A and B are shown apart, each in its own frame.
Chain A
Amino acid sequence: MTAGRLFDIKRFSTHDGPGIRSTVFLTGCPLACWWCHNPEALALHAPPGAHAAAAAADFAAPGRGFVGEFTTAQVLDEVLRDRPYYERSGGGVTVSGGEPFEQPAFLLDLLRESRRCGLHTAVDTCGLAPAEVVREAAAATDLFLYDLKLLDPGEHERYTGRANGGILENLQLLDRLGASIWIRIPLVPGITATPANLEATSRFLLDRVSCRRVSLLPYHRAGTAKHGRLGRAYRLPDLAPPTAEDVAAARGHFESKGFTVRIGA
């Protein structure tokens, strides 16, 4: 039985896939997006030490009982408690992060064990992972929530710290494998929510993959305070969330190309 490092399990999660779900948040992430709203995913991923312990204590506030290392069995014990809600709503378990592929052995074990219990499984990923692991995960995953942030490789590297070649390849791999995929695009004003990026994104999707469902996630400032608590500088201190018009324009862009668009989920 493998163990993984978690920073939360949220129940009654209704925006990470269909129905009522529990979302398991794994620590670790290969990216460092400027707008990150879960920076604790990185901080808590560090090997045990003074800094990680302090961060863990801070984030292990009442009601956040899942900060630290847990076995697959422990996670499933929590997740299975809401089975009656999943079964009626078409929900299940979503593994998110951070980036769940940063803990590949635990991710695969959790997905397989969840499947064995009859749960619908979803993985919320940035897509940066070795192709072999992605292939293995696809065999135990009912739905990928797949982030596409920036299509331009240079821009992607600038704002996330990594190039996007592997991300785009893995998306095409999953599509070839017949995986169900919902594309998620964060709408960060002036960065991702630009006409050029939206155009490039929709063209890539139309040309290269069969997935026609897009979720637009308007940037929000919920993560700002967390950066401060972790003693880090937030690189977008003055950035305002997109206006309703910005969101409508992005929606209109994708709808005009034949995509099914959802906002915020």
Chain B
Amino acid sequence: MLFGLHWDTSHGELAFAVSILPMLLIGMWVTIEASILGFFVAMVIGLGLAVLKGARLRIVRWPAMFVTEFIRDTPLLVQLFFLYYVLPDYGIVLPAFLTGALALGIQYSAYMSEVYRAGIEAVDHGQIEAAKALDLPGRRTFTHIVLPQAVPRVVPALGNYMVSIMKDVPVLSVVTVLEMLNVAKIIGDQTFDYLVPLSMVGGLYMILTLIASGIVRWVDVKLPKRGLALR
């Protein structure tokens, strides 16, 4: 029994599969939530890191570069353990799910900051010169001239990270998050049938990532290539 649902082990594989599907779907929902939350955390922190790494002052730029490098060069699992087991020592106690999503977000923020950086640097320098000639303040130039042109260009690359994040969610099972793989493993542990639940996880994952890629492609097509005008 899991989530108050029962599995059917006495009417063949198909009946078993049908009976555990709702449980896996509950797990899948957790996977989706963790991916989306992690993705948004990564988008925000990644942009922050990208901005800091582009700063003129070295004392701002260097720490941001160091943090990015540090995050990229350490395994997600280490970061996850750190957040989950060390932070409570400092009075910060987060639920496993939030810790996991945060760890995913931080890990991917490092990668995304590089994507943002590339997008920002790809904006024609003439745009910045024109803004300067019009005496627009630097911050306004960044938020209203550079970023709106950079973001549409980096959407496909950011979207690919969304798929990667999804595929990394099973790592959260080590801190007890009941995402899809963890659910399948519990079912296997209790029914001694791993083949069916694990195969189903594989299939569900494929459907999930295909849909996610489809959404990314749709957003990419919908976004005006010239950039987004902000009010």
A binds B: no
